[in-house]
Amino acid sequence: MLSRVADNLYWMSRYLERAEHVSRLLAVKLETMIEQSGEHAEISWRRIIAALSGDKFASTETIEAFAATQALAFDRLNPSSLINSLRLARDNGRQVREQISTEMWNRLNRLHLKLSPVNLAAIWDDQPSHIFRDIVDDLYMLEGIVYSTMRHSEGWDFLQLGRYIERAQLVTRLLDIHFGPASRAGASPNYVDWITLLRFCTGFEAYCKVYTAAIRRNRVAEFLLFDAGFPHSVRFAVERLAEALGRVAVGAPAARRWACERLAGRLKASMDFGQIDELMGSSIDAFLANISAQCEQIHNAVYAAYIGYDAESAL
With contacts defined by CB under 8 A, name the span among 137-145, 223-231, 250-258, 275-283 that binds other proteins: 250-258
Q: Is 141 in the site for other proteins (CB under 8 A)?
A: no
- Per-residue x/- marks for other proteins, 5-44, CB under 8 A? xx--------------------------------------
Among 78, 95, 292, 300, which residue sits at the site for other proteins (rule: CB under 8 A)? 95
**Contacts of 35 by beta carbon, 8 Å cutoff, 6+ apart:** 192
Q: In whole angstroms, how close is the CB of 313 to other proteins at the nearest point?
A: 10
Q: In whole angstroms, how close is the CB of 70 to other proteins at the nearest point?
A: 26
Q: Is 209 in the site for other proteins (CB under 8 A)?
A: no
Helix axes 284-302, 154-179, angle to 10 degrees: 160
Minimum CB distance to other proteins smaller for 106 or for 148 = 106
Minimum CB distance to other proteins smaller for 213 or for 314 = 314
Identify the helix (H) or strand (E) that includes residue 152. none
Q: Is 176 in the site for other proteins (CB under 8 A)?
A: no
Please report, as a single letter, which amino acid is at residue 305: A
- Per-residue x/- marks for other proteins, 291-310, CB under 8 A? ---------------xx-x-
CB environment 156-185: b (16+ within 10 A), e (fewer): bbbbbbbbbbbbbbbbbbbbbbbbbebbee
Helix axes 82-95, 3-32, angle to 10 degrees: 160
Q: How far is it, in rounded angstroms, from Cα 136 to Cα 148?
A: 18
With contacts defined by CB under 8 A, name the span among 29-37, 97-105, 195-203, 222-230 that binds other proteins: 97-105
Instruction: Please calculate the CA angle 161-164-167 and round it to the nearest 5 degrees.
Output: 145
With contacts defined by CB under 8 A, name the span among 4-12, 75-83, 131-139, 270-278 that binds other proteins: 4-12
Q: Which of residues 150-169 bind other proteins (CB under 8 A)?
A: 154
Among 73, 195, 248, 271, which residue sits at the site for other proteins (rule: CB under 8 A)? 248
Q: How far is it, in rounded angstroms, from Cα 127 to Cα 130?
A: 6
CB environment 25-56: b (16+ within 10 A), e (fewer): bbbbbbbbeeebeeeebbbbbbbbbbbbbeee
| Binding region for other proteins (CB under 8 A) | 1-6, 91, 94-99, 102, 105-106, 109-110, 113, 154, 248-253, 306-307, 309, 311, 314-315
